[in-house]
Amino acid sequence: MSSSVSSSFRLLTTRIPVPLSSTKSLFSSSSFKPTLSSPFLISKSISFQRIETRNQSRSPTSISASSSTSLQPVEELPPKLQEIVKLFQSVQEPKAKYEQLLFYGKNLKPLDAQFKTKLNKVEGCVSQVWVRAYLDNDRNVSFEADSDSVLTKGLAALLVLGLSGRPVEEVLRVSPDFAVLLGLQQSLTPSRNNGLLNMLKLMQKKALELYVEAEKGVLESAQSSEGGSAHNELQSSKLESNGDASSSNSTVVGSSSVGEGSVSKKDVKASEFPGLGSRGTRIKEKLEKELDPVELDVEDVSYQHAGHAGVRGSDGETHFNLKVVSKEFEGKSLVKRHRLIYGLLQEELQSGLHALSIVAKTPAEVGAA
Amino acid sequence: MEGVALKFPPLKLFNPNFPTSPATTVTFSSSSSSSSCSASLPVSATAGKEADSALGTLSLGHLTRPDFPILHQEVNGSKLVYLDNAATSQKPHQVLKALQSYYAGYNSNVHRGIHYLSAKATDQYELARKKVADFINAEESQEIVFTRNATEAINLVAYSWGISNLKPGDEVLLTVAEHHSAIVPWQLVAQRTGAVLRFVDLDENEVPEVEKLRESISRKTKLVVVHHVSNVLASFLPIKHIARWVHDVGGKILVDACQSVPHIVVDVQELDADFLVASSHKMCGPTGIGFLYAKSDILSAMPPFLGGGEMISDVFLDHSTYADPPSRFEAGTPAIGEAIGLGAAIDYLQGIGMQKIHDYETELANYLYESLSTIPNVRIYGPRPSEKVKRAALCSFNVEDVHPTDLATLLDQQHGVAIRSGHHCAQPLHRYLGVNASARASLHFYNTKDDVDDFINALSETVSFLNSFK
């Protein structure tokens, strides 16, 4: 709407004195009563013009994007996102924009329940939104998302379609400014708009994590955590040079790599085991190390308990199913086996792990050789 | 647009919202009876249409609407239909004028100064306190402590009375339908004192189970914290009975009257409440001010909450002595203008009469509930209204397979209807009901049945629009 108004203002500047009728229509659109005489109007229109140019130059500079000082040119966006932006720009009427948004949301592939974890949840949304990221064979990042609100699902769909199948660097370079280009920003309440911003941020964070993890996998995986953290810093600095958009994300990696060695290893390994977050990974590693199991299954079923009283305040990863087959259990009663496992996972239990469902057997019991 | 307005000399030409009705100020005295109000109701000079018809055929909503400048605007291209009164109410121009008069005429610090302005400010501030006391029929004005809002008032009770009176094992009884402000301060204090919080569930009518509440009151119960009217369920609790039960065991009752004081007659002596809290901004007063009512003997025994100027008697380097209540609990410079604004709001409400407001809103409540029930697949929370069961004029609801946020967004964007979506500061209640969020439409005496009709039409269209994408 602002673009159409500004174009008519531009018309005005070339035609002073202003014919009363054209300013009248402008005034009525902003519900002013044109009771003043025409000379007044002419001078007022000049002042309109000044204000309007301020507005025009204001929009690129005043966007409170975390990084960019000027609106990211559409051409820099991933191609599919460019298409989507252009489509929305071509639709003027707000209602039609909503229809378009809802249409996108409707066609978004639903997210499997197992991925609706706390780690995948977007913070700051009035509705529930989950986002999942994975790398395909060409090391491009792809996304899946879901929401219980159809408008938010529409926004998520825009991001999923616009960013999927692209190289990680490109995804990280996307500035949230493009939301303005959609023309939806003024139509959507700030809290929802923050949802779009936070969705994008989470997607970028996940893309970066996947990238770092993949890079780590290419080199010989560092035995020591220091090696890992040095590597991470290398990666983050390499990506940092790719533009401002990643700077906010590099701090995420930075914090995980600069912390205690074991912390960085945990965070980086987040995606090594599909479906397991950092706690799940720690549990698996601990049990592997201490019990030398023949068989070990660690399953995160926290999502089944989301909303349950004991889960409140914890960071997801609260409920696990464990199946352990180990020689360590020989000669121990069932109670003793469970106590052994609980003992090994004391730290986790004290830091938010809520419950374990354990199957603990010896190799003989499962008939394994 | 603001930049342009500055250029236009005669500002009032472009502000049709302010009705010029000097006659209104004459009608307000703090103790006008409700029977006289129909004759002296403010009818704005600019509202020609209303003035023509006989007063009797016009609803309270139509009659009072002109007093509220903010209601006469468009949002997103549609006329504003404001249905979020449980979150905050709108202010009549009488209140706006009182604020303006204060700051323009006699703004000065209270209780401290000697000079004329400060004496006048002090008088008006204390007069406002008296108006609050009279409004809820407290025995004396000293039983009213001005706070920032009801939340601060509850924190005051928690940190002052709670910390010094609760011992390990003592019980504080609440319901699952309480507002966060009534729950969290007690959680914090329970952690510090070792007291235990107990919560009463809802019964099959989606009202807190009163019998269960009664049974849960024991010698261990030191405090019962309950809402008078629920901001989600629209239900009423029998405060008078609950107070009696808890007094029988030597306990006290704290009444969260945020949704009742603005809408019905509240008489703290009749209820026999020990503590009662409310916020000004929900009762047509300004934000930034609220109050705690507490029986004087309880208040006198409470230690200070916030420390500083005003609440002291003598200050030495190593210790201080404290003032009597209410000053003891009013540290620092208070929200003087806002308190006076609250006084003006009370004058306005008394000018109409709380019983009249209550009766009208009961009618609105039933109309809203019935109209909302016609929406297919709608689920309204709280009890069904009947002869015996009254509802407040609000409905929290969900439409099957539609997220309340989608509803609220489109209602606002496409129809200018303002409702609320979320958990309404009642997460435990929503968890209990098994939902993440709900939508809520809440009315006040300046709403009309037309507002309800607009809302229902808009809702119906919005639901169809969203369903067309399924």
Q: According to the model, what pLDDT value does residue B284 have?
A: 98
Q: Which of A105, A126, A307 is the closest to B421 by Cβ? A: A126
Closest-CA distance of chain B to residue A43, Å: 10
Residue among B308, B228, B322 at smallest CA distance from B271 = B228
Give the CA count within 13 Å in the CB-facing half-sphere of B466.
26
Give CA–CA dist B372/B362, Å, rounded: 15
Residue among B439, B429, B454 at smallest CA distance from B206 = B429
Containing A290, the helix (H) or strand (E) segment is: helix A278-291
A44 chain-B contacts, CB cut-off 8 A: 4, 7-8
Give CA–CA dist B77/B413, Å, rounded: 8
From A17-31, A99-113, B55-69, B119-133, the region with the lowest mean pLDDT: A17-31
What's the CA dihedral at B68, B71, B72, B76 to 10 degrees?
160
Average pLDDT over residues A327-337: 86
Reply yes or no on whether the pLDDT at B230 is more than 80. Answer: yes
B7 chain-A contacts, CB cut-off 8 A: 44, 47
A32 chain-B contacts, CB cut-off 8 A: 4, 14
The most confident of A107-111, A336-340, B160-164, by mean pLDDT:
B160-164
* CB B331, CB B308: distance < 8 Å: yes
The most confident of A186-190, A362-366, B92-96, B413-417, by mean pLDDT:
B92-96
B414 chain-A contacts, CB cut-off 8 A: 94-95, 98
Q: And the tokens for A225?
A: 């955590």
Q: According to the model, what pLDDT value does residue B293 have?
A: 98
Q: Which of A128, A150, A151 is the closest to B436 by Cβ? A: A128
Contact check, Cβ <8 Å, B412/A128: no
Give CA–CA dist B70/B447, Å, rounded: 13
Residue pLDDT, tens place only, A235-273: 444 444 444 444 433 333 333 333 333 434 444 444 455
Residue pLDDT, tens place only, A112-168: 889 888 888 887 666 888 999 998 888 788 999 999 889 889 989 999 999 998 888
Q: Which of A33, A149, A150 is the closest to B14 by Cβ? A: A33
Instruction: Report the amino acid identity of residue B135.
Output: F
For chain B, what is the mean pLDDT? Answer: 89
pTM over 0.80, yes/no: no
* CB B141, CB B133: distance < 8 Å: yes
Give CA–CA dist A261/A276, Å, rounded: 20
* CB B110, CB B334: distance < 8 Å: yes
| % chain B with pLDDT above 90 | 84
pLDDT bracket for residue B56 (50, 70, 90)? low
Contact check, Cβ <8 Å, A148/B436: yes
Burial string for B319-346 (b: 16+ CB within 10 Å, else e) reads eeebbebbbbbbbeebbbbbbbbbbbbb
Give CA–CA dist A20/A40, Å, rounded: 11
Closest-CA distance of chain A to residue B282, Å: 23
Residue of A nearest to B434 (CA): A307
Residue of A nearest to B1 (CA): A30
Q: Hey, of B4, B8, B80, B405, which one would you mutate to test binding to chain A, going by the most A CBs within 10 A of its CB?
A: B405
Closest-CA distance of chain A to residue B295, Å: 37
Closest-CA distance of chain A to residue B138, Å: 40
Q: According to the model, what pLDDT value does residue B431 have?
A: 94
Contact check, Cβ <8 Å, B409/A192: yes
pLDDT bracket for residue B122 (50, 70, 90)? very high
Query: Regarding predicted confidence, which is higher, B434 or A190?
Result: B434
Q: And the tokens for B145?
A: 């402590």
Residue pLDDT, tens place only, B264-277: 999 999 999 999 99
pLDDT bracket for residue A220 (50, 70, 90)? low
B405 chain-A contacts, CB cut-off 8 A: 126-127, 149, 151-152, 192
B3 chain-A contacts, CB cut-off 8 A: 51
Q: According to the model, what pLDDT value does residue A196 have?
A: 80
Beta-strand runs (E) in B195-331: 196-200, 221-227, 252-256, 275-279, 290-294, 312-315, 320-322
Reduced to 3 states (helix: H, G, I; strand: E, B; else coil), residue B238 is coil
Reply yes or no on whether the pLDDT at B256 is more than 80. Answer: yes
A47 chain-B contacts, CB cut-off 8 A: 4, 7
* CB A329, CB A362: distance < 8 Å: yes
Query: Regarding predicted confidence, which is higher, B159 or A129?
Result: B159
Contact check, Cβ <8 Å, A127/B437: yes
Q: What angle do CA B418, B421, B424 make, to 5 degrees?
A: 110
Contact check, Cβ <8 Å, B405/A126: yes
Q: According to the model, what pLDDT value does residue B62 have?
A: 96
Residue pLDDT, tens place only, B331-356: 999 999 999 999 999 999 999 999 99
Reply yes or no on whether the pLDDT at B68 is more than 90. Answer: yes
A307 chain-B contacts, CB cut-off 8 A: 431
Interface ipTM: 0.72
A205 contact partners, CB below 8 Å, separation of at least 6: A249, A252
Give CA–CA dist A202/A180, Å, rounded: 19
Reply yes or no on whether the pLDDT at A1 is more than 90. Answer: no
B469 chain-A contacts, CB cut-off 8 A: 102-103, 105-106, 150
Closest-CA distance of chain B to residue A344, Å: 30
* CB B198, CB B188: distance < 8 Å: no
Q: At what angle are helices A150-163 and A94-106 packed, to 10 degrees?
A: 70
Residue of B nearest to A49 (CA): B4
What 8-state DSSP symbol labels residue B255?
E
Phi, psi at B229, each rounded to 5°: -130, 135
Contact check, Cβ <8 Å, B406/A149: yes
What 8-state DSSP symbol labels residue B307?
-
Contact check, Cβ <8 Å, A150/B466: yes
Reply yes or no on whether the pLDDT at A5 is more than 50. Answer: no
- Residue A114 CA, chain-centre distance (Å), reads 18
From A76-90, B77-91, B383-397, the region with the lowest mean pLDDT: A76-90
Containing B87, the helix (H) or strand (E) segment is: none
Q: According to the model, what pLDDT value does residue B114 have?
A: 86
Q: Which of A111, A125, A171, A180 is catalytic?
A: A125
Contact check, Cβ <8 Å, A127/B413: no
Burial string for A24-61 (b: 16+ CB within 10 Å, else e) reads eebbeeeebeeebeeeebeebbeebbebbeeeeeeeee
Q: Where are the alpha helices (DSSP H) in B166-279?
A: 180-193, 210-216, 239-248, 268-271
- Residue B93 CA, chain-centre distance (Å), reads 18
Contact check, Cβ <8 Å, A189/B3: no
Reduced to 3 states (helix: H, G, I; strand: E, B; else coil), residue A234 is helix
Contact check, Cβ <8 Å, A150/B413: no
Average pLDDT over residues A323-346: 86
Reply yes or no on whether the pLDDT at B441 is more than 50. Answer: yes
What 8-state DSSP symbol labels residue B114?
-
pLDDT bracket for residue A308 (50, 70, 90)? low
Average pLDDT over residues B151-166: 98
Q: Which of A51, A94, A95 is the closest to B4 by Cβ? A: A51
Q: According to the model, what pLDDT value does residue A36 have?
A: 42
Q: According to the model, what pLDDT value does residue A63 have?
A: 41
For chain A, what is the mean pLDDT? Answer: 69
From A126-130, B126-130, B279-283, B402-406, the region with the lowest mean pLDDT: A126-130
Containing B447, the helix (H) or strand (E) segment is: none
B386 contact partners, CB below 8 Å, separation of at least 6: none
Reply yes or no on whether the pLDDT at A32 is more than 50. Answer: no
Closest-CA distance of chain A to residue B414, Å: 7
Average pLDDT over residues A286-292: 87
From A137-141, B131-135, B315-319, the region with the lowest mean pLDDT: A137-141
Q: Hey, of A32, A54, A129, A196, which one would you mutate to test binding to chain B, going by the most B CBs within 10 A of its CB?
A: A32
Query: Regarding predicted confidence, which is higher, B387 or A60?
Result: B387
Q: Which of B14, B74, B406 is the closest to A150 by Cβ? A: B406
B406 chain-A contacts, CB cut-off 8 A: 127, 149-151
Give CA–CA dist A215/A237, Å, rounded: 13
What's the CA dihedral at A179, A181, A185, A186 to 10 degrees?
170
Residue among B416, B444, B317, B379 at smallest CA distance from B75 = B416
Query: Regarding predicted confidence, which is higher, A115 or A229?
Result: A115
Reply yes or no on whether the pLDDT at B215 is more than 50. Answer: yes
Number of A–B residue contacts, CB under 8 Å: 64
Known catalytic membership, residue B37: no
Average pLDDT over residues B278-284: 98
Contact check, Cβ <8 Å, A187/B413: yes
Residue pLDDT, tens place only, A40-89: 444 444 444 444 444 444 444 444 444 444 567 777 788 888 899 889 88
A196 chain-B contacts, CB cut-off 8 A: none
Contact check, Cβ <8 Å, A30/B1: yes
Contact check, Cβ <8 Å, A94/B7: no
Query: Residue B320 pairs with which residues in a beta bridge?
Result: B315
Q: According to the model, what pLDDT value does residue A15 have?
A: 44
Contact check, Cβ <8 Å, A36/B8: yes
| % chain A with pLDDT above 90 | 9
Find the radius of gyration of the CA atoms of chain B. 23
Q: Which of B14, B409, B431 is the closest to A32 by Cβ? A: B14
Reduced to 3 states (helix: H, G, I; strand: E, B; else coil), residue B225 is strand
Reduced to 3 states (helix: H, G, I; strand: E, B; else coil), residue B315 is strand
Phi, psi at B254, each rounded to 5°: -115, 120
Give CA–CA dist B321/B313, Å, rounded: 5
* CB A256, CB A264: distance < 8 Å: yes
Contact check, Cβ <8 Å, B406/A31: no
Q: Which residues of A touch B (CB under 8 A)?
A: 30-33, 35-36, 44, 47-48, 51, 94-95, 98, 102-103, 105-106, 126-128, 148-152, 187-189, 192, 307
Give the CA count within 13 Å in the CB-facing half-sphere of B61.
20
